[in-house]
Protein backbone atom coordinates (compact mmCIF):
# COMPACT_ATOMS: atom_id res chain seq x y z
CA UNK A 1 0.00 0.00 0.00
CA UNK A 2 1.75 3.13 -1.23
CA UNK A 3 1.92 6.08 1.11
CA UNK A 4 1.21 8.89 -1.36
CA UNK A 5 0.97 11.41 1.48
CA UNK A 6 4.69 11.25 2.22
CA UNK A 7 5.97 14.75 1.39
CA UNK A 8 8.56 14.96 -1.38
CA UNK A 9 10.53 17.35 0.80
CA UNK A 10 10.97 14.65 3.44
CA UNK A 11 13.00 12.62 0.94
CA UNK A 12 14.95 15.71 -0.07
CA UNK A 13 15.85 16.45 3.57
CA UNK A 14 16.80 12.81 4.04
CA UNK A 15 19.15 12.85 1.04
CA UNK A 16 20.94 15.92 2.39
CA UNK A 17 21.42 14.38 5.82
CA UNK A 18 22.45 11.03 4.32
CA UNK A 19 25.15 12.49 2.09
CA UNK A 20 26.32 14.80 4.85
CA UNK A 21 27.57 11.72 6.73
CA UNK A 22 28.54 9.73 3.61
CA UNK A 23 30.42 12.59 1.95
CA UNK A 24 32.71 10.37 -0.12
CA UNK A 25 29.89 8.57 -1.99
CA UNK A 26 29.43 11.01 -4.92
CA UNK A 27 33.16 10.69 -5.66
CA UNK A 28 33.05 6.89 -5.44
CA UNK A 29 30.19 6.78 -7.93
CA UNK A 30 32.54 8.47 -10.40
CA UNK A 31 35.29 5.98 -9.70
CA UNK A 32 37.37 8.31 -7.53
CA UNK A 33 38.71 7.49 -4.06
CA UNK A 34 38.87 10.39 -1.62
CA UNK A 35 39.52 10.79 2.08
CA UNK A 36 36.19 11.90 3.60
CA UNK A 37 38.10 13.86 6.24
CA UNK A 38 38.96 16.40 3.54
CA UNK A 39 35.45 16.66 2.08
CA UNK A 40 33.05 19.37 3.17
CA UNK A 41 29.46 19.87 2.06
CA UNK A 42 27.40 23.01 1.80
CA UNK A 43 24.25 24.35 0.18
CA UNK A 44 24.76 25.85 -3.24
CA UNK A 45 23.24 29.28 -2.43
CA UNK A 46 22.34 29.45 -6.11
CA UNK A 47 18.73 30.63 -6.43
CA UNK A 48 16.96 28.40 -8.96
CA UNK A 49 13.76 26.39 -8.99
CA UNK A 50 15.49 22.97 -8.96
CA UNK A 51 16.14 21.97 -5.34
CA UNK A 52 16.47 18.16 -5.17
CA UNK A 53 19.14 17.41 -2.53
CA UNK A 54 20.85 20.64 -3.54
CA UNK A 55 24.35 20.38 -2.03
CA UNK A 56 27.91 20.52 -3.33
CA UNK A 57 30.98 18.61 -2.15
CA UNK A 58 34.39 20.28 -1.90
CA UNK A 59 37.44 18.03 -1.71
CA UNK A 60 40.44 19.95 -0.34
CA UNK A 61 43.33 17.57 0.55
CA UNK A 62 46.37 19.13 2.22
CA UNK A 63 48.69 17.84 -0.51
CA UNK A 64 46.72 18.80 -3.61
CA UNK A 65 44.42 21.32 -5.27
CA UNK A 66 40.83 21.76 -4.16
CA UNK A 67 38.10 20.43 -6.42
CA UNK A 68 34.32 20.18 -6.11
CA UNK A 69 31.35 18.11 -7.26
CA UNK A 70 27.79 19.31 -7.57
CA UNK A 71 25.62 16.18 -7.89
CA UNK A 72 21.99 16.37 -8.94
CA UNK A 73 19.79 13.42 -7.91
CA UNK A 74 16.87 12.58 -10.20
CA UNK A 75 13.95 10.22 -9.73
CA UNK A 76 12.96 10.91 -13.35
CA UNK A 77 14.77 12.57 -16.29
CA UNK A 78 14.63 16.36 -15.89
CA UNK A 79 12.43 18.61 -17.99
CA UNK A 80 14.09 21.37 -20.00
CA UNK A 81 13.59 24.12 -17.41
CA UNK A 82 14.97 21.91 -14.63
CA UNK A 83 17.87 20.81 -16.84
CA UNK A 84 18.85 24.42 -17.50
CA UNK A 85 18.91 25.18 -13.76
CA UNK A 86 21.13 22.15 -13.11
CA UNK A 87 23.63 23.18 -15.79
CA UNK A 88 23.87 26.73 -14.47
CA UNK A 89 24.76 25.88 -10.88
CA UNK A 90 28.23 24.32 -11.34
CA UNK A 91 29.39 27.34 -13.34
CA UNK A 92 28.08 29.78 -10.75
CA UNK A 93 29.74 27.87 -7.92
CA UNK A 94 33.02 27.68 -9.85
CA UNK A 95 32.92 31.46 -10.23
CA UNK A 96 32.34 31.88 -6.48
CA UNK A 97 34.76 29.23 -5.20
CA UNK A 98 37.45 29.83 -7.86
CA UNK A 99 38.14 26.08 -8.10
CA UNK A 100 36.99 23.44 -10.63
CA UNK A 101 33.36 22.41 -9.98
CA UNK A 102 32.04 19.43 -11.91
CA UNK A 103 28.34 18.74 -12.34
CA UNK A 104 27.10 15.17 -12.22
CA UNK A 105 23.60 13.81 -12.84
CA UNK A 106 22.79 10.79 -10.66
CA UNK A 107 19.65 8.92 -11.74
CA UNK A 108 18.10 6.97 -8.87
CA UNK A 109 15.71 4.71 -10.76
CA UNK A 110 15.24 3.50 -14.32
CA UNK A 111 11.46 3.25 -14.47
CA UNK A 112 10.03 3.13 -17.97
CA UNK A 113 12.44 5.73 -19.34
CA UNK A 114 14.79 4.99 -22.24
CA UNK A 115 17.01 8.07 -22.16
CA UNK A 116 18.76 9.91 -19.35
CA UNK A 117 20.30 13.25 -20.36
CA UNK A 118 23.90 14.07 -19.60
CA UNK A 119 23.68 17.62 -20.88
CA UNK A 120 22.02 19.85 -23.45
CA UNK A 121 22.77 20.74 -27.05
CA UNK A 122 21.41 24.08 -28.27
CA UNK A 123 21.20 24.40 -32.06
CA UNK A 124 20.38 27.51 -34.08
CA UNK A 125 21.42 29.52 -37.12
CA UNK A 126 21.46 26.60 -39.55
CA UNK A 127 23.75 24.15 -37.78
CA UNK A 128 25.61 26.22 -35.20
CA UNK A 129 25.40 24.64 -31.76
CA UNK A 130 26.57 24.74 -28.16
CA UNK A 131 26.89 21.53 -26.16
CA UNK A 132 26.78 21.60 -22.35
CA UNK A 133 27.68 18.22 -20.82
CA UNK A 134 28.10 16.79 -17.30
CA UNK A 135 29.09 13.41 -15.89
CA UNK A 136 26.23 10.94 -15.58
CA UNK A 137 25.63 8.00 -13.21
CA UNK A 138 22.87 5.40 -13.68
CA UNK A 139 22.65 4.05 -10.16
CA UNK A 140 21.11 0.67 -11.02
CA UNK A 141 24.23 -0.18 -13.04
CA UNK A 142 26.15 -0.24 -9.73
CA UNK A 143 23.85 -2.75 -8.00
CA UNK A 144 26.56 -5.39 -7.44
CA UNK A 145 28.90 -2.86 -5.80
CA UNK A 146 26.05 -1.58 -3.64
CA UNK A 147 25.14 -5.05 -2.39
CA UNK A 148 28.64 -6.35 -1.72
CA UNK A 149 31.32 -3.79 -2.49
CA UNK A 150 32.58 -0.27 -1.84
CA UNK A 151 29.15 1.28 -2.42
CA UNK A 152 27.29 -0.61 0.33
CA UNK A 153 26.32 2.70 1.94
CA UNK A 154 23.91 3.21 -0.97
CA UNK A 155 21.92 0.08 -0.02
CA UNK A 156 18.93 2.22 1.15
CA UNK A 157 18.35 3.16 -2.50
CA UNK A 158 17.92 -0.40 -3.82
CA UNK A 159 14.15 -0.25 -3.34
CA UNK A 160 13.90 2.69 -5.76
CA UNK A 161 14.51 0.52 -8.82
CA UNK A 162 12.77 -2.66 -7.66
CA UNK A 163 10.41 -3.75 -10.48
CA UNK A 164 7.62 -4.96 -8.22
CA UNK A 165 8.20 -3.40 -4.77
CA UNK A 166 4.79 -4.32 -3.34
CA UNK A 167 5.53 -8.02 -3.92
CA UNK A 168 9.25 -8.24 -3.17
CA UNK A 169 10.04 -4.95 -1.45
CA UNK A 170 9.71 -6.09 2.18
CA UNK A 171 12.38 -8.73 1.67
CA UNK A 172 14.56 -6.07 0.08
CA UNK A 173 14.02 -3.70 3.02
CA UNK A 174 15.23 -6.46 5.34
CA UNK A 175 18.27 -6.99 3.12
CA UNK A 176 19.02 -3.25 3.08
CA UNK A 177 18.90 -3.16 6.88
CA UNK A 178 21.21 -6.18 7.06
CA UNK A 179 23.73 -4.61 4.68
CA UNK A 180 23.80 -1.39 6.73
CA UNK A 181 24.04 -3.28 10.02
CA UNK A 182 27.02 -5.29 8.75
CA UNK A 183 28.84 -2.40 7.07
CA UNK A 184 30.65 -1.18 10.18
CA UNK A 185 29.42 2.40 9.90
CA UNK A 186 29.63 5.03 12.60
CA UNK A 187 26.49 5.69 14.66
CA UNK A 188 25.68 8.80 12.57
CA UNK A 189 26.19 6.98 9.26
CA UNK A 190 24.12 4.04 10.45
CA UNK A 191 21.31 6.28 11.74
CA UNK A 192 20.97 8.28 8.53
CA UNK A 193 21.15 5.12 6.42
CA UNK A 194 18.33 3.50 8.40
CA UNK A 195 16.29 6.72 8.22
CA UNK A 196 16.67 6.76 4.44
CA UNK A 197 15.53 3.13 4.21
CA UNK A 198 12.46 4.02 6.28
CA UNK A 199 11.56 7.17 4.33
CA UNK A 200 11.91 5.42 0.96
CA UNK A 201 9.97 2.45 2.32
CA UNK A 202 7.06 4.75 3.18
CA UNK A 203 6.60 5.35 -0.56
CA UNK A 204 5.40 1.75 -0.87
CA UNK A 205 4.47 0.36 2.55
CA UNK A 206 2.36 1.47 5.50
CA UNK A 207 4.28 2.78 8.52
CA UNK A 208 3.01 -0.02 10.79
CA UNK A 209 4.46 -2.62 8.39
CA UNK A 210 7.86 -0.93 8.37
CA UNK A 211 7.82 -0.52 12.15
CA UNK A 212 7.39 -4.27 12.45
CA UNK A 213 10.51 -4.82 10.35
CA UNK A 214 12.62 -2.13 12.00
CA UNK A 215 11.66 -3.06 15.57
CA UNK A 216 14.05 -1.42 18.06
CA UNK A 217 15.88 0.26 15.18
CA UNK A 218 13.01 2.76 14.99
CA UNK A 219 14.80 4.58 17.82
CA UNK A 220 17.73 5.22 15.48
CA UNK A 221 15.37 6.46 12.79
CA UNK A 222 13.65 8.95 15.11
CA UNK A 223 16.96 10.27 16.43
CA UNK A 224 18.49 10.82 12.99
CA UNK A 225 19.29 14.33 11.78
CA UNK A 226 16.72 13.83 9.03
CA UNK A 227 13.78 13.55 11.40
CA UNK A 228 15.17 16.29 13.64
CA UNK A 229 15.45 18.70 10.72
CA UNK A 230 11.94 17.83 9.58
CA UNK A 231 10.62 18.51 13.09
CA UNK A 232 12.61 21.76 13.43
CA UNK A 233 11.29 23.09 10.14
CA UNK A 234 7.69 22.35 11.05
CA UNK A 235 8.25 23.75 14.56
CA UNK A 236 9.51 27.05 13.14
CA UNK A 237 6.46 27.33 10.91
CA UNK A 238 4.12 26.55 13.79
CA UNK A 239 5.93 28.97 16.13
CA UNK A 240 5.24 31.95 13.90
CA UNK A 241 1.55 31.03 13.63
CA UNK A 242 1.27 30.29 17.35
CA UNK A 243 2.85 33.57 18.43
CA UNK A 244 0.59 35.57 16.15
CA UNK A 245 -2.47 33.74 17.43
CA UNK A 246 -1.38 34.20 21.03
CA UNK A 247 -0.92 37.95 20.59
CA UNK A 248 -4.34 38.30 18.99
CA UNK A 249 -6.10 36.34 21.72
CA UNK A 250 -4.12 38.12 24.42
CA UNK A 251 -5.15 41.55 23.17
CA UNK A 252 -8.79 40.52 22.97
CA UNK A 253 -8.74 39.27 26.54
CA UNK A 254 -6.88 42.40 27.62
CA UNK A 255 -9.55 44.70 26.25
CA UNK A 256 -12.29 42.75 28.02
CA UNK A 257 -10.73 41.79 31.34
CA UNK A 258 -7.62 43.92 31.73
CA UNK A 259 -4.31 44.06 29.95
CA UNK A 260 -2.32 41.97 32.44
CA UNK A 261 -4.75 39.07 32.50
CA UNK A 262 -5.17 39.23 28.75
CA UNK A 263 -1.47 39.04 28.02
CA UNK A 264 -1.03 36.09 30.36
CA UNK A 265 -3.90 34.29 28.70
CA UNK A 266 -2.35 35.17 25.36
CA UNK A 267 0.92 33.58 26.38
CA UNK A 268 -0.90 30.40 27.43
CA UNK A 269 -2.91 30.33 24.23
CA UNK A 270 0.23 31.06 22.26
CA UNK A 271 2.01 28.03 23.68
CA UNK A 272 -1.02 25.83 23.08
CA UNK A 273 -1.47 27.26 19.61
CA UNK A 274 2.20 26.68 18.80
CA UNK A 275 2.05 23.06 19.98
CA UNK A 276 -1.25 22.46 18.15
CA UNK A 277 -0.02 24.04 14.92
CA UNK A 278 3.17 21.97 15.02
CA UNK A 279 1.09 18.81 15.42
CA UNK A 280 -1.19 19.78 12.53
CA UNK A 281 1.75 20.73 10.30
CA UNK A 282 3.58 17.43 10.81
CA UNK A 283 0.37 15.42 10.80
CA UNK A 284 -0.72 16.93 7.48
CA UNK A 285 2.61 16.00 5.91
CA UNK A 286 2.41 12.43 7.19
CA UNK A 287 -1.34 11.66 7.43
CA UNK A 288 -2.97 14.09 5.02
CA UNK A 289 -5.18 17.11 5.66
CA UNK A 290 -7.23 16.62 8.85
CA UNK A 291 -11.01 16.63 8.70
CA UNK A 292 -13.10 19.31 10.43
CA UNK A 293 -13.96 16.98 13.31
CA UNK A 294 -10.26 16.24 13.82
CA UNK A 295 -9.47 19.97 14.01
CA UNK A 296 -12.30 20.34 16.54
CA UNK A 297 -10.95 17.45 18.64
CA UNK A 298 -7.46 18.95 18.63
CA UNK A 299 -8.89 22.31 19.66
CA UNK A 300 -10.37 20.72 22.78
CA UNK A 301 -6.95 19.54 23.96
CA UNK A 302 -5.77 22.08 26.54
CA UNK A 303 -2.73 20.13 27.72
CA UNK A 304 0.50 21.26 26.06
CA UNK A 305 2.32 18.05 27.09
CA UNK A 306 -0.42 15.96 25.46
CA UNK A 307 -0.05 17.90 22.19
CA UNK A 308 3.74 17.48 22.27
CA UNK A 309 3.36 13.72 22.86
CA UNK A 310 1.02 13.35 19.89
CA UNK A 311 3.46 15.31 17.72
CA UNK A 312 6.32 12.95 18.51
CA UNK A 313 4.11 9.94 17.69
CA UNK A 314 2.93 11.07 14.25
CA UNK A 315 5.32 8.62 12.55
CA UNK A 316 3.84 5.69 14.49
CA UNK A 317 0.28 5.80 13.11
CA UNK A 318 -1.56 5.57 9.80
CA UNK A 319 -4.52 7.93 10.33
CA UNK A 320 -5.59 10.93 12.40
CA UNK A 321 -8.12 8.70 14.18
CA UNK A 322 -5.32 6.32 15.21
CA UNK A 323 -3.31 9.25 16.54
CA UNK A 324 -6.16 10.68 18.61
CA UNK A 325 -6.85 7.22 20.04
CA UNK A 326 -3.34 6.97 21.54
CA UNK A 327 -3.01 7.21 25.30
Cβ neighbour number for residue 136 with a 10 Å cutoff: 15
Beta-sheet strands, E only, within the chain:
39-43, 55-59, 67-74, 101-107, 119-124, 128-133, 135-138
Give residue-wise pLDDT tens across range 187-244: 888 988 998 898 888 888 888 888 899 998 888 887 777 666 666 665 666 666 666 6
d(CA 299, CA 312): 18
Find out whether 189 and 195 touch, Cβ atoms under 8 Å. no
Which has more pLDDT, 304 or 247? 304
Which of the four pLDDT bands, split at 50, 70 and 90, describes residue 295? Answer: confident
Position 47 pLDDT exceeds 50: no
Output the pLDDT for position 327: 66
**Mean of all residue pLDDT scores within the chain:** 81
* CA–CA dist 12, 110 (Å, integer): 19
* Residues 218/211, Cβ–Cβ less than 8 Å: yes
Which of the four pLDDT bands, split at 50, 70 and 90, describes residue 255? very low
Q: What integer pLDDT is reported at residue 171 of this predicted model?
A: 93
Q: pLDDT tier at 176 (50, 70, 90 boundaries)?
A: very high
Instruction: Provide the CA 318 distance to its chain's centre, in angstroms.
Output: 20
Task: Rank 38-52, 103-117, 247-261 by mean pLDDT and report only the highest.
Answer: 103-117
Buried b (16+ CB within 10 A) or exposed e, 112-131: eeeeebeebeeeeeeeeeee
3 state DSSP class of 137: strand
pTM: 0.67
112 DSSP 8-state letter: T
Report yes or no: 299 and 268 within 8 Å, Cβ to Cβ.
no
Amino acid sequence: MADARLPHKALDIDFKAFFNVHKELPFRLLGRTVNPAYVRTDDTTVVVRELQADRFFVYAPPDGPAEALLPEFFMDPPKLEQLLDCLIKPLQRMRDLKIPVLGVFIYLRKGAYATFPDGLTVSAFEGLCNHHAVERVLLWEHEAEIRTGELRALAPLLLLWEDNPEATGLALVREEIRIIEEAGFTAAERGESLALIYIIGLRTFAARVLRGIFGEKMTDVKQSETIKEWLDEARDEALAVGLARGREQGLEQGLEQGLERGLEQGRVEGRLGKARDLLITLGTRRLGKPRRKTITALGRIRDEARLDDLTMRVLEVETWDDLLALR
